[in-house]
Structure 1
Amino acid sequence: MTELLETTRPAGPGKTELAKIAVAAGLAVVLWGSSFVAIRGIGHALSPGPLALLRLAVAAVALTAIALTRRPVRVRLTRKAFLLVAAYAVVWLAGYTVALNAGEQHVDAGTAALLVNLAPLLVAVAAGKFLGEGFSRSLVVGSLVALGGAALIATSATGQRNWAGVLLCLLAAALYAAGVMIQKVALRHVDGLTAIWLGCVVATVVLLPWAPQLVAELRAAPASAVVGAAYLGVFPTAIGFTAWAYALRRMDAGRLSAVTYAVPAASVLLSWLLLGEIPTLYGLVGGALCLTGVAISRKR
């Protein structure tokens, strides 16, 4: 993990460096895709809030260990920077995680991943509205295509519980997008690893009211659920975000962001292999339209 914290070399990346970037980005995609499957697999044993608390607490401990590998550890934050980190921690790390956990109690992992991947489109719309980036033709067309895909997924919901899952996943996507917007401003004042590290700490503190329920549920939870929650904290959260930061530091953000389109594919595949779940035909077609709309919206 210490290699992931190295500073960027001034020279352009060579073949070896490009290979490392590809491995880091691919690792992040697979780990993020697996998180949807892990949440779905252990959602029967741990409620959304307690699961989010355990995941972020484990991530905070893991990121603290990573941060300590930097000698010396120096964290200098202005009041504004801390408030921005705290805001995205509450909205993204805490709020998004709880909403996603709740949503996956009603829909399969693949469908959840397809719906949450609307977040890049929401970020583009928010940037056009609040950051003055405007609304291009591709953004408008992509938005319409993606919304059509989301509507198609919603038509596959056959009951109140499924509808609740779709709405919760859309809420998770909105919270994800809002968190990204806040983090974008926060990163002007603090480095990426520190932001993720402190964000997990703040999110853990925010979720502490669920601690008594977590303790009670852990007493009855199978060992596999506890291991799954620890996996979520260490791998998709701590290692996944650190690997992504390594790649992002060495590659153009616009080009690298296209890699995230593979997250739902990885989630659908892993969900099928490990849980025997696969989205409905409407879900797959709607998810493909969602991803197509996101891709169109980001075209320049």
Structure 2
Amino acid sequence: MMNASSPRSARRADLLAAGAATVTVVLWASAFVSIRSAGAAYAPGALALGRLLSGAVALGLLWAVRREGLPPRTAWRGIAISGVLWFGFYMVALNWAEQQVDAGTAALVVNIGPILIALLSARLLGDAMPPRLLTGMAVSFAGAVAVGLSMSGGGGASVLGVVLCVLAAAAYSFGVVAQKPALAAASALQVTTFGCLVGAVACLPFAGQLVHDAAGAPLPATLNMLYLGVFPTALAFTTWAYALARTTASRMGATTYAVPALVVLMSWLFLHEVPGPLTLGGGLLCLAGVAVSRSRPRAASLRRGAAAEGPAPRPRPERERA
């Protein structure tokens, strides 16, 4: 019974982690539309602070209901680093960058993030970099390049905007790598709740700008800011942490290459922006690369199947067969 139940539990855990990762990329893809709307009325720092405050409130209520308590002391280093770099600096830099460059250029440059995550996690966490992961990331990055080029407006990029995108990608990468060890000591909800709170505290210098912008912002922009806090931040970062705790940082980073493809699909469905051949092809490449990077070699699958069936029966001696 133990041999049968353990693989079944492992498969269930894999499915839950895959489902959590799917929720994350779908909500992060939806964030692009909301950022574009809210960013017209809110300054970059104010938008980041408003998003983090609403996310921290939602997470704090859930954390209090579940009574998870404070994270262990060993997790705080990773929580603090990811909170400042990923929740704080990344969001401000990305909001600011999207005011300087077109959406295609921003998406293209920020998509160096998963590559940086793979390199950093291999160096700092000892993660393996199997050929399938590298091949999948290369395919997905090619797709992201195609999507970015198809979305880019002529001459819309600025040096400042490109630099901000690079800084945002670097902050995102270091934040993910710092978060991974924290998840070995604390729960996904604890790491996300206090990481979001740290990011909100880091963005408090923008409080005056937030109050000023909120006073004159139209209701749809404010609602989009609240949506960003509750769903792409509170929910999506929690499901991300849940999945990250159950796989490697480099594999999770590769999963985010599905975001450009989903942005193309959502723009087609909800904004009636029909994608051109280059955009559509790039989105399909992104999804194909994610599938390759998350697949396992056939030999590994056969080993897992053999483990599920239990040890093979020992052959009986000739006398017993007779």
TM-score tier (shorter): 0.7 to 0.9
Aligned residues: 288
- Residue 184 (structure 1) aligns with: 180
Q: Which runs of 5+ in 2 are unaligned?
A: 298-322
CA-based RMSD: 4.0
Q: Which of 57, 70, 74 is 1:75 aligned to?
A: 70
1:104 to 93, 98, 103: 98
Q: Matches of residues 190-269 of structure 1 in structure 2 within 5 Å?
A: 190-245=186-241, 257=252, 260-269=256-265
Corresponding residue of 2:302: none
Partner in structure 2 of residue 130 of structure 1: 124
Alignment deviations for residues 247-294 of structure 1 (CA, whole Å, 9 cap, x no partner): 666x65689846544322222222344445577766666666677667
CA distance in structure 2 between the aligned counterparts of 1:133 and 1:252, rounded to whole angstroms: 10
CA deviations 1:120-153 (Å, max 9, x no partner) are 2221112233344576666766676677667664
The one-letter amino acid paired with 1:96 is Y
Larger Rg: 2
Q: Identity rate of aligned residues, in percent?
A: 44
Please tell me whether the aligned partners of residues 54 and 226 of structure 2 are also in contact (alpha carbons under 8 angstroms): yes
Per-residue Cα deviation, 1:173-208 (whole angstroms, up to 9, x for no partner) = 222111111111222332221111111111101100
2-structure distance, mates of 1:290, 1:165: 24
Post-superposition CA distance 1:38-79 (Å, at most 9, x none): 1112211111111000000111111000101124x421432x
Question: Out of 82, 85, 91, which is 1:88 matched to?
Answer: 82
Normalising by structure 1, what TM-score? 0.76
Distance 1:38 1:76, change over 3 A: closer
Task: String of CA shifts for 1:98-139, please: whole Å, max 9, x gaps.
Answer: 12212333323x664555344222211122333445766667
3-state secondary structure, aligned to 1:75: coil
State the Cα distance separating 1:214 from its structure 2 match: 1.0
The code of the aligned residue for 1:97 comes to M
Which piece of structure 1 moves more, 199-208 or 280-289? 280-289
Q: Which runs of 5+ in 1 are unaligned?
A: 1-8
